[in-house]
Amino acid sequence: MADEFDGGVPLEALQKTMKSIAVVGEIGILTVDADNDMHVYYLVYDPGGESCTRWENECLTVFPDIRTHFRRVSWPRRDSHFVNISQKNFYLRDFHTKNTQVASCKSRSIALGVALCALSVDFDIQMNKVACTGDLNIDGDIGPAPDVANKLRDFGYSRSFEMILMPAQHKNHVERMDFSNEIAAKIYFVSNLQEGLVAVHQKVKPKHYLGIAKP
């Protein structure tokens, strides 16, 4: 009998899934789990896989809200890609081992990451060097995230990421914190999803022209 994670998903099936995942469709997430512990995960979009992440009730509202926002806004999306934004198509995997784990996530601070992860597939942008935290409203504005100070204090993996996107509402507070210059130089404050995508576009050159202007 194959080894299994706690979620009942065979290990060999997970390993096969991991091998099939391209860099496009994943982004770093600074998040809080159900036990109030800080973590850095990779959020992965894999419609052909089987998600074993347990999304708490707060997280479940993220997916329909982002679908609503995408319907309201005419993003210059490529016809060849259609991202199904639902909890079963996204999961978290451990930053260190790169394996899928039965992780639990309770905060809407994954919302910005879910939206950017979906857009990375549409625009073929590699976001595995991008980390973020932040809520996302239906109108596209980025709302504050919980425990930002602790998330950044515990963020000891700056060499693995080229940029960290943070809600602009935290700018004054974060700038008063004592960080190494290496981490401080990677923090980008954004007010809405378009600003976030433009910031990533300027830092990580995509294969396709996005056709968007800086707001």
Tell me which architecture the domain covering 11-203 has in CATH: 2-Layer Sandwich (3.30)
Residue spans per domain, the chain: 11-203
pLDDT tens column, 100-138: 676 788 889 999 999 999 998 888 888 988 999 999 999
Question: d(Cα 98, Cα 92) in Å, to the nearest integer?
Answer: 10
pLDDT tens column, 131-171: 999 999 999 999 998 888 778 876 665 677 889 999 999 99
pLDDT tens column, 30-41: 887 767 777 788
Beta carbons within 8 Å of 63's beta carbon, 6+ residues apart: 85, 86, 87, 90, 114
The enclosing H or E element of 57 equals helix 57-60
For 9, other C-beta atoms within 10 Å of its C-beta total 18
pLDDT tens column, 75-98: 655 554 568 888 988 988 877 766
SS3 138: coil
Which DSSP symbol is given to 96?
T
